[in-house]
Amino acid sequence: MVKQISNAAGQTVCLGRNRPPVGTKKLHFRDYVNLSTLPTPPSSHSYAPKAYSALAEMYMNDKLGDCVIAEMLHSVGVFTGNANGGTPAKFTNSQVESLYSAIGGYVPGDPSTDNGCDEVTAMDYWKSKGAPSGQNQIAGWISVSGSHPERYTAALWLFENLMFGVELPDAWISPFPSASGFHWDVAGSPDPNNGHSFLGVAYDKNEVWINTWGMFGSLSEAAIAKYATTSGSGELYTVLSEEIIVRASAKAPSGFNFEQLLADLAAL
C-alpha cells in the first residue's frame, strides 16, 4: 500500500513497502557465523563516505511508493563506491521506473499501479536479473536477527549493508525528517499503513546509521529490536554479491563459514 506524506515546507515522500510472501525460504546469518572466533568488528564503521553522491539520490521515492527499489539502488551505490578505486553507480529515473515495473508491476503514468513491492520479491529479481536488468546481480541474501545487535553489526561490517523492511510508527513520520541527523527510537506500535524500506550503511555504539529519502539518520538498538523483527512485522536482511563475499572473507578468514554459505546460495 502506497502512502504519500508531506511536511509544512511542502516536501513530499512516499511509503510503499509491502510484507514479503508468507513461507519464504530464508537462509539465516546465525547459521554461518561463530562470533567467538570471528575477528572483532571495529567499534564503529561506515560505508557511506565513498557512496555519498549515490545515497543522496531520491530515486523517485518522493513521487512513487518505490522505497524497495530505492533501497536496492542505494546499496548498489555503496557496493560500487567501496570497491577498489570504485565510483558509486547512479541511475536514471527511466531505470528506476523499469525496475519498479518489473518487480512491482508499476505502469509509468498510471497511479493505480503504484502499489509498492516487497523486499523478498525484489531481492529474488535482483539475483536472477540484476539491478537494473543485466547489471549488478547478487549471489543472494540472508536474513539477520534484529534482536541480536552483535549479529547485525557483524553482518553490516562483513557485507557492507543491512536491508530494513519495517512498518514505521506514526511518530517517525509526523512530521517526517526534513534533514540528515534524525534519530529514530521506540515510539509506539508499528503501523501497517507505514510500510517502508531503507538501507543500513554504518554503525557505532548502540545504533545503526541508515539512509532514506536522500538523508542519513540513526536507529537505536531498541528500535531495531521492536520494528525490524518478525514480532514487529519487520524484516532485516543483508544482500550478498560475489565481490562482497570476497571482501568479507578477507576481513574474516575465520569465524564465518563462507564455503557453506556459497553452497547454500547455489542450492536455492
Cα–chain center distance at 119: 8
| 3 within domain boundaries | no
User: What is the rounded distance in angstroms from the CA atom of residue 137 to the CA atom of residue 93?
Assistant: 20
153: number of Cβ within 10 Å? 22
Would residue 124 count as lying in a domain?
A: yes
pTM of the model: 0.96
Asked if the structure places residue 153 within a domain, the reply is: yes
Assigned domain for 194 exists: yes
The answer to whether residue 7 is domain-embedded is no
The verdict on residue 247 lying in a domain is yes
Q: Tens-of-pLDDT digits for all 268 residues of the chain?
A: 699 998 777 889 999 999 999 888 899 999 999 999 999 999 999 999 999 999 999 999 999 999 999 999 999 999 999 997 889 999 999 999 999 999 999 999 999 999 999 999 999 999 999 999 999 999 999 999 999 999 999 999 999 999 999 999 999 999 899 899 999 999 999 999 999 999 999 999 999 999 999 999 999 999 999 999 999 999 999 999 999 999 999 999 999 999 999 999 999 8
5 belongs to a structural domain: no
Residue 140 is part of a domain; what is its CATH number? 3.90.70.10
Q: Are the beta carbons of 215 and 179 closer than 8 angstroms? A: yes
Q: Tell me which residue range forms the domain holding 25.
A: 20-267
Number of folded domains that form the chain: 1
